[in-house]
Amino acid sequence: MATYYIGANDEHGQDPFTAGKRTPVMPYLNVPFYENQFNRPAKIRFLEACLRNNFAVYDVKPELTDTAISARVRRINAQGLTLLVTFGYNAFGSGNTFNSARGISSFYSRQNPRAQESRALAEELYEQLLNGTNQTGRGVSDIADVGVLQSVNCPSALVEPGYMTNFAEAKLMLDPDYQTEVAEECCKGVCVYLGEKYISRNDLANYPVLRSGSSGNFVYLLQYLLAQNGYALAVDGQFGANTQQAVVQFQTANGLTADGIAGNNTWRTLLVLAPRPTLRQGNRGTYVRYLQQKLTSKLYPLGNIDGIFGNATQQAVMEFQQENGLSADGIVGPITWQAVSVVGGGRPLP
């Protein structure tokens, strides 16, 4: 495979949240969702997908702050990127009330020095998003006065896969499966644009067994996933002592055999793939965090998303079960997993 260098950028920030870039107040939770709560995880999952597909990657804005566009453009133009994908989320109206505007859009700029390539990239991203999600399409558009589209020296496209001001699409913003879906479809679009075969996420046969001494893109991916789970280690593609220690710590925290070898069970847990374990009060780990993210996106309040199955999480599970015609026992088994794992849905507007 040829060496491609893929950049990813997320609009706006979380620390602090960018003012105005938010949904109306979400019922049941009584807080808004902020745009970067979608943009950043979608970007991170896109970078993970690109690593799995053997591309080199560049995170334009690793910090949580809303970094100036001019600073991001300077970073991008210093890298010699093959292409750039930016993640955003759309809005319509005042932003204080929900409305009917909806759908997926992608954008490019005719002012980009590689405008035709930018348009082709935007079209491939849009086609894959339209085919791979259940969302309405709004088309591919030229847009002016957006620095990360017009002022960078590589093909560049922006995707906005929903509206913050549409109630159903606002809930999707915090759905980890929708974040992953968008990221994977964008990676597919990049692969089509570059003429490369896409390597799927959910087939464990695509992931090699890694151990001390391993190196390469999948070690980089392993380290990146561990870092996203809060483990401090260098992301350098070299499986050394610090990476082995982080693997052991992750395995221990998730009830896996703590041998420091990243095999199927470790990859499955890092990626939160099925089959998912039965969860109940007292459990901890990656699958609990995923459950909490799904419940929050469906507007069941449970406090902090911390990977700890406590009283509040149990109450949210029981409310979800009761409202979805399931046995309200607070235990997340196969039937509850099937219901909660659906992309979208959740509580209606009161």
pLDDT at 2: 55
Cα–Cα distance measured from residue 297 to residue 175, given in angstroms and rounded to the nearest whole number:
5
**Distances in whole angstroms, Cα of residue 108 to Cα of each of 130, 164, 210:** 17, 21, 39
Exposed, middle or buried: residue 269 (CB in 10 Å: 0-12, 13-18, 19+)? buried
- Would you give per-residue pLDDT tens digits along the chain (350 residues)? 458 999 999 999 999 999 999 999 999 999 999 999 999 999 999 999 999 999 999 999 999 999 999 999 999 999 999 999 999 999 999 889 999 999 999 999 999 999 999 999 999 999 999 999 999 999 999 999 999 999 999 999 999 999 999 999 999 999 999 999 999 999 999 999 999 999 999 999 999 999 999 999 999 999 999 999 999 999 999 999 999 999 999 999 999 999 999 999 999 999 999 999 999 999 999 999 999 999 999 999 999 999 999 999 999 999 999 999 999 999 999 999 999 999 999 999 99
Is the whole model's pTM more than 0.85, yes or no? yes
Exposed, middle or buried: residue 332 (CB in 10 Å: 0-12, 13-18, 19+)? buried
Cα–Cα distance measured from residue 84 to residue 296, given in angstroms and rounded to the nearest whole number:
31
Domains recognised in the chain with CATH numbers: 5-194 (3.40.630.40), 204-271 (1.10.101.10), 286-340 (1.10.101.10)
Provide the strand spans (E) within the chain. Answer: 5-10, 56-59, 83-87, 104-108, 137-142, 156-160
Q: How many CB atoms lie within 10 A of CB 343?
A: 16
**Distances in whole angstroms, Cα of residue 237 to Cα of each of 10, 67, 198, 214, 258:** 24, 27, 21, 8, 21
Classify 255 in phi/psi space as left (phi over 0), alpha (psi -120 to 50) or beta: left
DSSP string, 303-320: S---SB--HHHHHHHHHH
Q: List the one residue out of 146, 135, 35 whose CA is nearest residue 88.
A: 35
Structure token digits, residue 179: 């974040």
Q: Are 221 and 48 in contact (CB under 8 A)?
A: yes
With the CA atoms of 96, 98, 99 and 104 taken in that order, what torsion angle do they form, in degrees rounded to the nearest 10?
100
Cα–Cα distance measured from residue 206 to residue 96, given in angstroms and rounded to the nearest whole number:
45
Question: Would strands 104-108 and 56-59 be described as parallel, antiparallel, or unpaired?
Answer: unpaired
